[in-house]
Amino acid sequence: DETYGDTIWNTAVVISSSGAYLGKSRKNHIPRVGDFNESTYYMESDLGHPVFQTRFGKIAINICYGRHHPQNWMVYGLNGAEIVFNPSATIGDLSEPMWPIEARCAAIANSYFTCAINRVGTETFPNEFTSGDGKPAHKDFGHFYGSSYVAGPDGSRTPGLSRLKDGLLVSEMDLNLCRQAKDKWGFKMTQRLNIYADAIYWASQPDFTPQVLHEN
């Protein structure tokens, strides 16, 4: 690349319904888990948490592993997202127990819709993955379990798609529900961004000491 050289990001490009380029979103959090050690080839995003105005509402893209970070979901909400897509490629042994929960909790906490999207199938590679000592380990990632669904800010969700085969999920989302949920629960009014910001600032310092009280 003439501009960025060998730097590689996991990037989603957003195209409007008229075919216009709206912008791009990059993966903010890079996993270092088992075979998914993406830090060996991807860099973390430098674009923040962009939200895109479309004729269907304000949308954002929280790529894959970013769903494990509540602050990531939160900032898309602070930027006004009404629908947040979470395109993923994740396997059963690694994350399936968490899959039905994370995007649904994010929808509730941030008063927007979430679309949790996962692929299906098993990839087999001609050359084995190697373990830490360089010996052959295995030839596949494991099973990608699909189970895509849509969750609403009121805690509702659609049934999940198949674990085993491709599918199409069509869901009607009334964006008025985002405002209704905000008015009902008052999460934005009662959140304490100032104390969160202070805690996060100090936690990011190398000499940070956790606030733990002990018995005298």
Asked if pLDDT for residue 129 goes beyond 80, the answer is no
pLDDT band at 131 (very low <50, low <70, confident <90, very high): low
CA distances from residue 53 to 44, 117, 173 in whole angstroms, order as listed = 24, 21, 16
112: nearest Cα among 180, 49, 192 = 180
Q: What domains can be seen in the chain, in order of their start residue?
A: 11-204 (3.60.110.10)
| Tokens at 23, concatenated | 């912008």
Q: Say which residue, 142 or 173, is predicted with more confidence.
A: 173
pLDDT, averaged across the chain: 93
pLDDT tens per residue across span 200-209: 999 999 999 9
